[in-house]
Structure 1
Amino acid sequence: MLALTNSAVGLYFLITLLFKGSHNIGFALLVATGIIFAIYHVVKKQPVDFIPQDKWITTSFVFYVLVFLLSLLVNGGKMSELDNPSRALLVLPLILLFIKYPPRLTVLLVCIPIGAVIAGIVALIHRFVLHYIRAFEHQMQIQAGDIAMSLGMFSFAIALYFAYKKQTKLTALCFIASLCGILASLLSTARGGWVGVPFILGMIFWVYRKQLSKKVVGIVSTVLVVLIAVAVMIPQTRITQRLQQMERDISVYVDKNNAGTSLGARFEMWKSAVLMAKEKPLLGWGAEGSNQQRKEQAKQKLVHPVVGNFTHTHNQYLDDLSKRGILGLFALFGVLFVPLGYFWKNMASQHATIKLTALLGSIHIISVMFYCLSQGFLAHNSGTIFYFLVTIIFYGTLKQQIKQA
């Protein structure tokens, strides 16, 4: 069971960006194992060794799904709207599974950097061999680019952990893996994944400020900045083009009120969501209702007509607010901040492995919070699986490290 559990955990990180739908494989294997184990546990009437934090996380995840169900009952809609949030329920048996068969930190230290390297290789093949306009073009490139950036940031934290342990070769390998993950995100041209990088890097350096010399921090920072700058300047990566396009989009929206651009459409969708929230603040309009309301707003010329073509707001917070109201936004904050609080307080630990695992969990959640600013990250299967599954994996690993310490 321990080998099966850790193989599935490792498999998820290794192949999550390998091809379209590959993220479902490790997830399905883990969920099936967790559900079977939970049923066995109940049948055998074995005691459950839950800590208070297990109950808090379980409650936040269940409440998140119940708000979707309540919105569906009140506002109407399709049962398929429960498909994505149901992932939050499917990962809950893993809390029980990981009590007895926890993920090993060594599995994460190996598989996360290799997964970042694989993501980088896939992105390079897409862009320069298959000549896609952007990497992960057929895998929902915004989602894939964000996940690749997370793999890069995880690998960077692991690199500094090995630097603290004075394991030079592993530090170098994980640093290269981090660059591969970052490169994959840059080649996807998913700009939303780049916004939180300075904050995440600053947090990682801050956590290891007492363990690493200023010389090491300076060298690593310089190399990272130089390599990213080189990648930006290479025309074939289209990074500079995307940044210039972003500047033009903002300019034409502000100066000419033109919403016919990527960013302009987002600004109008955010405006639309705020207008909807003002009319139905408590439980929102529901998924179907918000779609119809966007079209109605466009007819009344309250927003640009382009808004009627979208089914979500490209901002997770405003999307939840418009569809499920203040209650939905509160539920979203619950699944983010409840586990984040546990990770955050353990980052101050004097145990190196506890500090690293807590840092990985914090990077994961805060990164997703940044992704949600410009994308409905949890409105897609890949994002929902990535957030809830990886949160529980890091949570189970952290509990094991604390138990061992």
Structure 2
Amino acid sequence: MQQGVLNAAAFLVLAPALWLPSGYSIGAILLVMLGLWRWPAVLRGRLAPHAPLRAWALVVLAMGLVWSMYLFEGGRLITNTLGLDRSSKYFLVLLALPAVWAQRPAAWALRWGCWVGAAGAGVLAGWQVLVQHLVRAEGYTNAIQFGNLSLLLALWSGIWAVQASCPYERLLGALAAVLGIAASVLSGSRGGWVVLPVLLVLFVWFARPQTQGSQGSHGRRGLLALGAALLTCLLLAALPPVQQRAHEAAQELLQQPEPEKSNTATGSRLAFWMHAWRLGLEHPWLGAGQLGYEQSQREAVARQEMPSMSVHFNHAHNEWLDMFAKRGLLGVIGLALFYAVPGLLCWRCLRRGGREPLENAAAAGNEDAARSECHAAALCGLVTVLGYLGFGMTQVMFAHNNGNLMYLLPMSLWLAVCWPGAGAPAAFRAPIPR
């Protein structure tokens, strides 16, 4: 029964993520419930994660503490999405993690979850732009978050499509990936388009597990990866929504004598970045906190150092500068670990793929299939980390509830497949389900 609940939770984290309001919350609730069911075994010492999953749990805890640094400001508890509401998500995910320490989600749940999620995002984006006549598709969040997360779902879908064994499944996965990219295009989110070529190079390079006999194909893979990235850039550049948004960015930068003081998307970002850097230098170790940041921003607007529209935003539109301004170098270190630890774990799994036997593969009865699933999950995880790094150059993904949970929950699932429960006693280990 627990395996069925875990599979349902994995599917529901991904499938309705963007085309239902807070759709990922359905799977999150199931994961927390299953994790709470496992916690008595954890407390009795009968269930414990091995090193990779323990490292992930520790960085989730560390990041939860980073978000908790300024829960009390000005004599009151900050309860909105930039305070208790955000940090509590991390501790809830910690409660859910034992669910994947004992068992791993089935590959079909992850595969179909990504495909339904990406296809749903594409259909919703088309409805909003073509039927509702919105200028930019925004789902049930905002256009930037919707576009970036749709792009991730598209890439995850493509990865699982390559690993699928049935031709019709590969076709469905490819179609879902196309719809996810269409959602990104219709959202007009330029930050995602900038990072897409890099992610495509990674995707093509690691599309298939490398075996001992494939060492000589590195040059061919490299050329194919660069060709795919170049072709994607040319195709994107030919699309009217992309051309329009690129033209707007160029105008905003070139036609303003001081773009950082103009009420434009590009100019305001320059102002946000410059202000966050200055504020971080004034408070280098622990930052100024959320309320301190907002107060400083209002004062800068009053001095006409920032455009007037700045007061409507509560973050710096850059993950690193926002963290530096609000939580100083301590927060920056926490953020670096939050990216580096899962990224390195996924990289290790990709590098070992095809050359080392997988644990529990014999129980699965199909070592090649197990290796393929492990490889796909690791590539999804690495794409997630690099995608968030790229998106974070022009947006604070973690300032939004969906940005936090769509990193925490899928990454927990990817790592559970990459590093199946070698740390759990035999009674808790589940065979790799098909």
Structure 1 length-normalised TM = 0.88
Task: Percent identity, please.
Answer: 24
Residue 384 of structure 1 corresponds to which residue in structure 2? 404
CA 1:222–1:323 in 2, change beyond 3 Å: closer, same or farther? closer
Residue 111 of structure 1 corresponds to which residue in structure 2? 113
State the 1:217 CA deviation: 9.7
CA deviation string 1:166-210 (max 9, x = no partner)? x54333322222111111111111112212111111011122476
Residue 265 of structure 2 corresponds to which residue in structure 1? 262
Residue 426 of structure 2 corresponds to which residue in structure 1? none
Matched residues in 2 for 1:196 and 1:224: separation?
10
1:290 aligns with 2:310: no
Once the two structures are overlaid, the 10-residue window that deviates more, 302-311 or 219-228, is 219-228
1:299 aligns with 2:327: no
CA deviation string 1:80-135 (max 9, x = no partner)? 11211321221123331112232112221222122211211111111112222221
CA 1:378–1:257 in 2, change beyond 3 Å: closer, same or farther? closer
Residues 71 and 283 in structure 1, CA contact (< 8 A), matched pair in contact too: no
CA deviation string 1:12-62 (max 9, x = no partner)? 211111132223222222223322432x4357x251232122332222121
Once the two structures are overlaid, the 10-residue window that deviates more, 214-223 or 364-373, is 214-223
Matched residues in 2 for 1:181 and 1:366: separation?
18
Matched residues in 2 for 1:296 and 1:220: separation?
48
State the 1:270 CA deviation: 0.6
State the 1:221 CA deviation: 8.8
Runs of 4+ displaced beyond 6 Å: 211-228, 401-405
Residues 319 and 393 in structure 2, CA contact (< 8 A), matched pair in contact too: yes
Matched residues in 2 for 1:304 and 1:234: separation?
31
CA 1:300–1:94 in 2, change beyond 3 Å: closer, same or farther? same
CA deviation string 1:201-258 (max 9, x = no partner)? 10111224766899999999989977886676454xx332112111112223566654
Residue 274 of structure 1 corresponds to which residue in structure 2? 277
Once the two structures are overlaid, the 10-residue window that deviates more, 362-371 or 71-80, is 71-80
Residue 321 of structure 1 corresponds to which residue in structure 2? 324
Once superposed, what is the RMSD of the aligned Cα atoms? 2.9
CA 1:56–1:76 in 2, change beyond 3 Å: closer, same or farther? farther
Residues 76 and 286 in structure 1, CA contact (< 8 A), matched pair in contact too: no
Once the two structures are overlaid, the 10-residue window that deviates more, 80-89 or 178-187, is 80-89
Residue 59 of structure 1 corresponds to which residue in structure 2? 58
CA 1:97–1:297 in 2, change beyond 3 Å: closer, same or farther? same
CA 1:222–1:334 in 2, change beyond 3 Å: closer, same or farther? closer
CA 1:95–1:292 in 2, change beyond 3 Å: closer, same or farther? same
Residue 16 of structure 2 corresponds to which residue in structure 1? 15
CA 1:89–1:245 in 2, change beyond 3 Å: closer, same or farther? same
CA 1:171–1:215 in 2, change beyond 3 Å: closer, same or farther? farther
CA deviation string 1:146-169 (max 9, x = no partner)? 11100111112223334xx6x543
Matched residues in 1 for 2:75 and 2:316: separation?
19
Matched residues in 1 for 2:334 and 2:220: separation?
44
CA 1:220–1:329 in 2, change beyond 3 Å: closer, same or farther? closer
1:136 aligns with 2:165: no
Within a 5 Å distance, the mapping from 1:121-132 to structure 2 comes to: 121-132=123-134
Residues 16 and 116 in structure 2, CA contact (< 8 A), matched pair in contact too: no
CA 1:159–1:268 in 2, change beyond 3 Å: closer, same or farther? same
Residue 182 of structure 1 corresponds to which residue in structure 2? 181
Q: What is the aligned counterpart of 1:358 among 378, 382, 397?
A: 378
Residues 200 and 229 in structure 2, CA contact (< 8 A), matched pair in contact too: no
Residues 95 and 396 in structure 1, CA contact (< 8 A), matched pair in contact too: no
- One-letter code of the match for 1:386? M
CA 1:213–1:399 in 2, change beyond 3 Å: closer, same or farther? closer
Matched residues in 2 for 1:134 and 1:74: separation?
36
State the 1:378 CA deviation: 0.5
Matched residues in 1 for 2:85 and 2:152: separation?
24
Residues 57 and 338 in structure 1, CA contact (< 8 A), matched pair in contact too: yes
Q: What is the aligned counterpart of 2:254 among 251, 254, 267?
A: 251
Residues 204 and 224 in structure 2, CA contact (< 8 A), matched pair in contact too: no
CA deviation string 1:323-363 (max 9, x = no partner)? 11110111111111111111111111113332222111101
Structure with the larger helix share: 1
Residues 200 and 228 in structure 2, CA contact (< 8 A), matched pair in contact too: no
Flag structure 1 segments of 5+ consecutive residues without an equivalent: none
State the 1:302 CA deviation: 3.8
- One-letter code of the match for 1:103? P
1:101 aligns with 2:103: yes
State the 1:288 CA deviation: 0.6
Residues 102 and 396 in structure 1, CA contact (< 8 A), matched pair in contact too: yes
